[in-house]
Amino acid sequence: MPHGSVPLITEPDDRLTAWLCACLTRTGYAARTVGQPTTRPALVSSALPVAAGMDLWRVSTPERRGALDVLETQLPVGCPLLVRCEALPVDVVASWAARPTRVVGFSAFGVPRDGMLVEVVPATRASPEAVRRATMFLESLGFQVRALPVGSWPIFPRMMAMVINEAAKAMGEGTATAADIDQAMKLGANDPEGPLALADRVGLAEILEILEGLHSEFGDDRYHPAPLLRRLVRAGDTGQAAGRGFHLYDQPS
Last residue of a domain, one of 114, 147, 180: 147
pLDDT tens for each residue of 129-139: 999 999 999 99
Is 34 domain-assigned? yes
Contact present, 151 and 123 (Cβ < 8 Å): yes
Round to whole Å and give the CA distance between 87 and 40. Answer: 27
* β-pair partners for 125: none
Round to whole Å and give the CA distance between 219 and 11. Answer: 28
pLDDT tops 80 at residue 12:
no
pLDDT tops 50 at residue 46:
no
Mean pLDDT of 40-45: 41
Same domain for 66 and 175? no
Q: How many domains does the chain have?
A: 2
Same domain for 142 and 187? no
* Range of the structural domain that residue 69 is part of: 5-147
Same domain for 133 and 183? no
Q: Percentage of residues in the chain with pLDDT exceeding 90?
A: 67
Contact present, 186 and 126 (Cβ < 8 Å): no
Going through 36-165 in order, the beta strands assigned E by DSSP cover: 53-55, 81-84, 103-107, 117-122, 144-147
Last residue of a domain, one of 147, 170, 185: 147
pLDDT tens for each residue of 85-135: 999 999 999 999 999 999 999 999 988 888 999 999 999 999 999 999 999
Is 250 domain-assigned? no
Same domain for 136 and 184? no
Same domain for 33 and 73? yes
* β-pair partners for 8: 33, 54
Report strand pairing: 117-122 vs 144-147. Answer: parallel
Last residue of a domain, one of 116, 147, 178: 147
Same domain for 96 and 165? no
Same domain for 128 and 235? no
Same domain for 67 and 163? no
DSSP state of 226: P
* Residue 217 identity: E
Strand order in the sheet with 103-107: 30-33, 5-9, 53-55, 81-84, 103-107, 117-122, 144-147
Contact present, 253 and 241 (Cβ < 8 Å): yes
Task: Report the CATH number that the domain containing residue 166 is assigned in CATH.
Answer: 1.10.1040.50
Is 184 domain-assigned? yes
Is 253 domain-assigned? no
pLDDT band at 162 (very low <50, low <70, confident <90, very high): very high
